Amino acid sequence: MVRFDVNQPVSEATPDEIQMPPGQLYSDEPPLETDFHRNQIDLLIRLLKFWWRDRSDFYISGNLTVYYNQQQLKQRDFRGPDIFVVLDTEKKDRRSWVVWEEGGQYPNVVIELLSASTAQVDRVAKKQLYQNIWRVPDYFWFHPETLEFAGFHLVNGKYAAIDPTPQGWLWSDQLELYLGIHERQLRWFTAEGQLVPLPEEFEQQRAEQERQRAEQERQRAERLEAYLRSQGIDPTQLPDQ
């Protein structure tokens, strides 16, 4: 797992220290701790990919290593975020996210899932790294079991806590979406407050809308027929239009 020393400040490697290793680096992440963590990661990734299915300018992944300098690569003292989103990049599959192969781009949004073994690191050392070195604009953490949930936005180089809505949702300026807890899972919500659906939920909604439309059409036809009969007109005798 993560081997941060939370008592030591995170320092950025100097240009002389950074030697660009070969490309095509594979992710080097440990297995996920629980089903709660794996399911939560998969859920948020599936949701955003579906919601932005017509976009080709973003990348989202989870439990994947972000390589950002040789010092980190040699010491193996930092593991990748549980979930991260990069904007203004090519939407394609990757073995890992290698900053120097991606035009120097770091994630725009990071979400960490807390656990008994990682919570302190996520709240302190990783938060410091994301603020001072990666400069991630939006950072969130969530505990899939206790439901602890917090978010921060980078303001003048420092993280400021994001104020929750009355529903407890937190706004991401970068994604222009809310994050909030729904049925004990973290979900995306639109700026208008609508739950971002999974593909199967979207199909169910569309089927329900079609059923309601058909029912409204049937009721309209029945009202028209009743009106015609009240006027002494047999609707079955009307010529076809």
Q: How far out from the chain centre does Cα 159 lie?
A: 19
- For 81-137, how does the pLDDT look when each residue is reduced to its tens digit (9 = 90+)? 999 999 999 999 999 998 989 999 999 999 999 998 889 999 999 999 999 999 999
Q: Where are the domains of the chain?
A: 15-196, 200-237
For residue range 23-59, what is the model confidence (pLDDT) as tens digits?
567 676 566 668 888 999 999 999 999 999 999 999 9
Residue 3: is it exposed, middle or buried by C-beta count within 10 angstroms (0-12/13-18/19+)?
exposed
188: pLDDT strictly greater than 90: yes
Between 215 and 57, name the one with better pLDDT: 57
| Residue ranges of E strands in the chain | 58-62, 66-67, 83-87, 97-98, 109-113, 138-142, 149-155, 158-161, 170-172, 177-182, 185-189
Query: Of 87, 109, 186, whose CA–CA distance to 154 is shortest?
Result: 109
pLDDT over 90 percentage in the chain: 56
The per-residue pLDDT for 5 is 43
Q: Using 50, 70 and 90 to split pLDDT, how confident is the model at 208?
A: low
pLDDT at residue 138 greater than cutoff 70: yes
Whether 96 contacts 25, CB under 8 Å: yes
What's the mean per-residue pLDDT of the chain? 84
pLDDT of residue 57: 97
Local confidence band at 77 (pLDDT 50, 70, 90 cut-offs): low
The CATH class of 15-196 is alpha beta
Distance of CA 149 to the CA centre of its chain: 14
DSSP 4: -
User: Where residue 73 falls among pLDDT bands split at 50, 70, 90?
Assistant: low
pLDDT of residue 171: 98
Residue predicted with more confidence, 46 or 11 = 46
Q: What is the pTM of this model?
A: 0.75
What was the pLDDT predicted at 69? 80
pLDDT at 50: 96
